Amino acid sequence: MIIAIDGPAAAGKGTLAQNLAKHFKYAFLDTGRLYRAVGYAVLQAGKDPSDEAEATKAAKAFDPKTINAILKNPALRDEATGNAASKVAVIPSVREALLQLQRDFAEHPFFEDGEPAKGAVLDGRDIGTVVCPKADVKFFVTASAEVRADRRFKELQDAGKPADYDKILKDIKERDERDSNRATAPLKPAEDAYVLDTSKMNAVQAYQAALDFIAIDHA
């Protein structure tokens, strides 16, 4: 069983994916952190993230059985790691290696402890369209830019970090524009995806709506 969840930033797809994985006892893969993991690995090796050979070597070294343990590293949230991730993400051979990793994980999922799972939940931006076009269930989780900006604003405030709503909104709209109009794997719902608009939902309501859809779709 493969559940693919796509959508823009701050729409709630990550929380939904983790909740569904926990409910069904499936393995979960946060594909957005993969590029950070590659960038971090290159930095740890003392190499330049822009070096195609080094970045590709790091990406190809990942194993579906151990990738979730790697993605738990808190250092992946560091600013330096984020900057490195943006550099490795534009390298075609890195994207190709990570695409294969995601597909391997979906077909043969593993929990963080290395135990095999009976199903997988993957969240990202092109899971249902590119990574797993034959996924059993596909969701496209979205919300208005204003709602997503407000969520991110409150998230930063709660974490005690500086937050500027107008800047966050501007950044979200610009990212949406880039993601939706990029030549490779643009952000868009798969034709057979269930579009879940969470603008007026909290995490619990979105989770229940997703469960209801799965129950009907796989009755």
pLDDT at 75: 92
pLDDT value, residue 16: 96
pLDDT for 219 equals: 56
Average pLDDT over residues 67-92: 90
List domains and CATH numbers for the chain: 1-26+118-219 (3.40.50.300), 30-116 (no CATH)
- What number of other Cβ atoms are within 10 A of residue 64's Cβ? 21
Work out the average pLDDT over 20-35: 95
Q: What is the pLDDT of residue 32?
A: 86
Among 107, 127, 102, CA closest to 117: 107
pLDDT at residue 89 greater than cutoff 70: yes
Contact 137, 20 (CB under 8 A): no
Stretch 103-110: mean pLDDT: 96
Q: Dump pLDDT digits (tens) for 143-190.
A: 999 999 999 999 889 989 889 999 999 999 988 888 888 777 788 999
Question: Coil, strand or helix: which one is 39?
Answer: helix
State the average pLDDT for the chain.
Answer: 93
**What's the pLDDT at 154?**
93
Contact 59, 94 (CB under 8 A): yes
Distance CA 198, CA 36 (A): 27
Kindly indicate the confidence band of residue 83, based on its pLDDT and cuts at 50, 70 and 90. confident
Reported as a pLDDT band with limits 50, 70 and 90, residue 71 is very high
- Summarize the confidence of residues 76-97 as an average pLDDT: 89
CA distances for 205 relative to 15, 22, 95, 123, 212, angstroms = 12, 16, 34, 18, 10
Flag whether pLDDT at 117 surpasses 80: yes
- Report the phi/psi class of residue 34: left, alpha or beta, with left for phi > 0 and alpha for psi in -120 to 50: alpha
Residues in the chain: 219
pLDDT in the model for residue 195: 96
| 139 or 77, greater pLDDT | 139
Q: Which stretches of the chain are DSSP H helices? A: 13-24, 34-44, 52-60, 67-71, 79-88, 92-107, 145-158, 165-181, 203-217
Per cent of the chain over pLDDT 70 is: 99
